[in-house]
């Protein structure tokens, strides 16, 4: 261990540690910086993290300095402050003052550093700024503003080191240097929008989010990406009843600081025009009170012949399906159609399994059937077929079998093949409108939280299921998610010290390991 003193504070850090990290530990916040990123190699080009180390004649950049025993470091004295101001001056010489129309305003590193070290009169006279391309489309998801770029090289290093696709580079020299893609090349990998996240200024912006909303107007909710079985931790940014973007939320055991572009677009389904918004029996729309009253007849004891779940539903909802089966005396229960929603994977985060909770089906013992087997079970079922989520009728054989049933109750979020053949349809909430737990492909149990209210008259699926349980005659149907999770914790994780009501932020591995 190395003992050092930073701004008068003594501390010990492991030998070989970065001085940048040691300073962050001592200060309680990172040093000012543009080019440094914890998941990328050290570039040392922005020079903004300079500190004074006693015994060294010049200031040194902390990101490229290793700690040594006995170091005495100053990060906030006048010498360091003046150096930071000079470096900011160099960045601002040709930087456009277009903050009022820049998407990065409010979360811009240059703005933050100027507020911390600037607010001074410029000492450099600039007769004419260097003009560069202001809005160049460099890929399906990203626009480049070369004038705003501070040449931190984060985006270049990301494409070289993380995706290993190398689309971006720095061309020319001096004040004519600029980030760009070579002629005939697009920034078109599965993770291109991460370059927008790691850009410290507004040089790279999202074509999807561009000019949509000021960031300080957005609220945030912690969630889990429903796009595949990796279960990337995300931050859902929203205002009122609309989501504007998804951004990765740090989890070192799942997705680190990144997520794929496909996952970022999953929010669009929440606002799809084909959302189910009212209970409907055939062509007739119902209010919830009347709908639940009428449904008592089709979910009564011995009236349910088959129950079908989906890998898109939460662990709590799937558990309640099993409780519904036990309450109604239904012995035929499955998790949906096997081998559906399987697509191409990559070697980073994007899983071939495009569902968020197939592992949850396994934990609960809900087997998926082939389409032909499910069609046969539907035809053999005596009574109501209850389907929660998914779209099993996308298969023609399953659709034909469902059409022959006397009663099909579908609880779902969107109009699809299954909602069209169902005799009874109840509108459920999407993942962004309800709370729940998903289990990713590695068995990590993770919580997602609601941000929006359900569209129209949609209700949380777990609430619909508890009302169906009450209608089926269960006297002690759970009144909320907490008792459902408590029951699940006992059933699934006995002896593993896993409490679904108190999950840590990074989730828990099924099997007892928590972090």
Percent of the chain exceeding pLDDT 70 equals 97
Residues 213 and 85 in one domain: no
Whether 13 and 44 share a structural domain: yes
Please tell me the distance from the alpha carbon of residue 274 to that of residue 414, in angstroms, as a whole number: 5
- pLDDT (mean) for 11-22: 94
Does 321 share its domain with 207? Answer: no
**CA angle, 250 as apex, 249 and 255 as ends, to 5°?**
95
Tokens of 185: 């090349």
Higher pLDDT pick, 434 / 130: 434
Query: Residue 282 has what pLDDT?
Result: 85
**Looking at the predicted structure, is the pLDDT value of residue 513 above 50?**
no
Residue 128's pLDDT band (boundaries 50, 70, 90)?
confident
Name the burial class of residue 96, with classes exposed (0-12), middle (13-18) and buried (19+) by CB atoms within 10 angstroms of its CB: middle
Q: Which pLDDT band, with edges at 50, 70 and 90, does 494 fall under?
A: confident
Non-local (6+) Cβ contacts of 456 within 8 A are 275, 276, 277, 278, 427
pLDDT, residue 72, reads 95
CATH number of the structural domain spanning residue 206: 3.30.70.20
Q: How confident is the model at residue 190 (pLDDT cuts 50, 70, 90)?
A: very high
pLDDT at 477: 82
Residue in the block written with tokens 């504007």: 244
For residue 6, pLDDT beyond 70 = yes
In a domain, residue 118? The reply is: no
If asked whether residues 87 and 146 sit together in one domain, one would say no
Spatial neighbors of 446 by CB under 8 A, at least 6 apart, are 224, 231, 233, 254, 437, 438, 439, 440, 503, 507
Q: pLDDT digit string (tens) for 283-312?
A: 888 899 999 999 998 999 889 999 999 999
pLDDT at 510: 85
Instruction: Quickly list DSSP for 415-435.
Output: --HHHHH-SEEEEBPPGGGS-
Residue 48 is part of a domain; what is its CATH number?
3.10.20.740
Q: Is the pLDDT of residue 110 over 80?
A: yes
Q: What is the pTM of this model?
A: 0.92
Helix (H) or strand (E) holding 223: strand 219-224
CATH number of 324's domain: 3.40.50.740
Judgement on whether residues 291 and 426 belong to the same structural domain of the protein: yes
Please report which confidence band the pLDDT of residue 116 belongs to, taking 50, 70 and 90 as the band edges. confident
Give the separation between CA 352 and CA 365, rounded to whole angstroms.
Answer: 22
Domain of 233?
Answer: 99-104+126-271
What's the mean pLDDT in 142-150? 95
From the list 434, 411, 443, 441, the residue with the least C-alpha distance to 508 is 443
| pLDDT in the model for residue 511 | 72
pLDDT for residue 234 is more than 60: yes
Split at pLDDT 50, 70, 90, the class of 175 is: confident
Asked if residue 117 is part of any domain, the answer here is no
- Mean pLDDT for 329-334 is 94
Domain co-membership, 475 together with 356: yes
Residue 352 per-residue DSSP state: S
pLDDT at 515 over 50: no
Residues 188, 58, single domain; the answer is no
Same domain, 386 and 290: yes
- First-to-last alpha carbon distance for the chain, in angstroms, is 25
| Residue ranges in 225-370 assigned as alpha helix (H) | 261-264, 288-295, 315-328, 358-363
Is 120 part of a structural domain of the chain?
A: no
What does the angle CA 283 – CA 289 – CA 292 come to, to the nearest 5 degrees?
70
At 349-376, the pLDDT tens digits run 999 999 999 999 999 999 999 999 999 9
Q: In the predicted model, what is the mean pLDDT of residues 192-216?
A: 96
Stretch among 436-445, 446-455, 472-481 having the lowest mean pLDDT: 472-481
Band of residue 247 on the pLDDT scale cut at 50, 70, 90 = very high
Domain boundary among 43, 68, 92: 92
Number of domains the chain is built from: 3
Residue 113 domain flag? no
Domain-embedded: residue 234 = yes
Whether pLDDT at 124 is above 80: no
Q: How far is CA 168 from the centre of its chain?
A: 25
CB atoms within 10 A of CB 430: 24
Q: Are residues 258 and 293 in the same domain?
A: no
- List the structure tokens of 227: 């796009």
Residue 466 in tokens: 């508890």
148 and 56 in a common domain: no
- Among 281, 139, 126, smallest CA distance to 206 is for 139
State whether residue 491 is helix, strand or coil.
Answer: helix
Q: Do residues 413 and 489 both lie within one domain?
A: yes
State the sign of the Cα–Cα–Cα–Cα dihedral 475, 480, 484, 487: negative
């Amino acid at each position: 261990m190395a003992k050092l003193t930073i701004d008068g504070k003594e501390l010990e850090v492991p030998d070989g540690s970065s001085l940048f990290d040691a300073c962050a530990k001592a200060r309680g916040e990172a040093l000012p910086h543009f080019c440094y990123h914890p998941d990328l190699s050290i570039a040392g080009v922005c020079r903004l993290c300079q500190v004074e180390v006693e015994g060294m004649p010049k200031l040194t950049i902390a990101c490229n300095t290793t700690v040594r025993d006995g170091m005495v470091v100053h990060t906030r004295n006048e010498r360091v402050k003046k150096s930071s101001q000079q470096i900011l001056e160099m960045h601002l010489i040709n930087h456009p003052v277009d903050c009022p129309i820049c998407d990065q305003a409010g979360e811009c590193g240059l703005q933050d550093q100027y507020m911390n070290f600037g607010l001074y009169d410029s000492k450099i006279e600039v007769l004419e700024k260097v003009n560069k391309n202001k809005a160049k489309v460099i890929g399906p998801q990203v626009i480049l503003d070369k004038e705003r770029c501070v040449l931190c090289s984060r985006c270049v290093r990301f494409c070289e080191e993380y995706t290993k696709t190398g689309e971006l580079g720095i061309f020319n020299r001096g004040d004519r240097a600029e980030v760009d893609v070579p002629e005939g090349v697009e920034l078109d990998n599965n993770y291109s929008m991460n370059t927008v996240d790691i850009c410290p200024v507004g040089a790279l912006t999202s074509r999807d989010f561009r000019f949509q909303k000021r960031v300080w107007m957005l609220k945030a909710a912690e969630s889990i990406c429903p796009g595949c079985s990796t279960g990337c931790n995300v931050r859902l940014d929203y205002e009122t009843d609309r989501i504007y973007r998804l951004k990765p939320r740090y989890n070192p055991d799942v997705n680190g600081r990144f997520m794929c572009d496909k996952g970022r677009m999953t929010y669009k389904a929440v606002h799809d025009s084909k959302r189910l918004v009212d209970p409907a029996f055939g062509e007739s729309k119902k209010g919830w009170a009347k709908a639940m009253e009428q449904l008592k007849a089709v979910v009564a004891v011995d009236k349910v012949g088959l129950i079908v779940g989906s890998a898109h539903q939460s662990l709590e909802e799937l558990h309640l399906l099993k409780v519904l089966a036990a309450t109604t005396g239904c012995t035929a229960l499955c998790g949906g159609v096997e081998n559906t929603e399987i697509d191409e994977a990559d070697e980073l985060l994007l899983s071939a399994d495009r569902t968020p909770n197939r592992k949850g089906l396994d934990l609960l013992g809900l087997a998926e059937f082939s389409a032909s087997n499910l069609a046969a079970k539907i035809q053999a079922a005596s009574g109501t077929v209850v389907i929660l989520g998914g779209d099993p009728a996308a298969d023609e054989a399953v659709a034909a079998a469902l059409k022959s049933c006397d009663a099909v109750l579908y609880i779902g979020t969107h109009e699809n093949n299954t909602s069209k053949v169902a005799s009874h349809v109840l509108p459920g909430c999407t993942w962004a409108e309800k709370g729940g737990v998903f289990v990713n492909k590695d068995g990590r149990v993770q919580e997602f939280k609601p941000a929006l209210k359900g569209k129209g008259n949609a209700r949380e699926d777990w609430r619909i299921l508890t009302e169906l349980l009450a209608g089926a005659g269960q006297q002690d149907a759970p009144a909320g998610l907490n008792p459902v999770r408590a029951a699940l914790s006992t059933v699934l994780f006995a002896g593993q010290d896993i409490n679904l009501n108190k999950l840590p932020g990074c989730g828990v591995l099924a099997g007892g390991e928590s972090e």
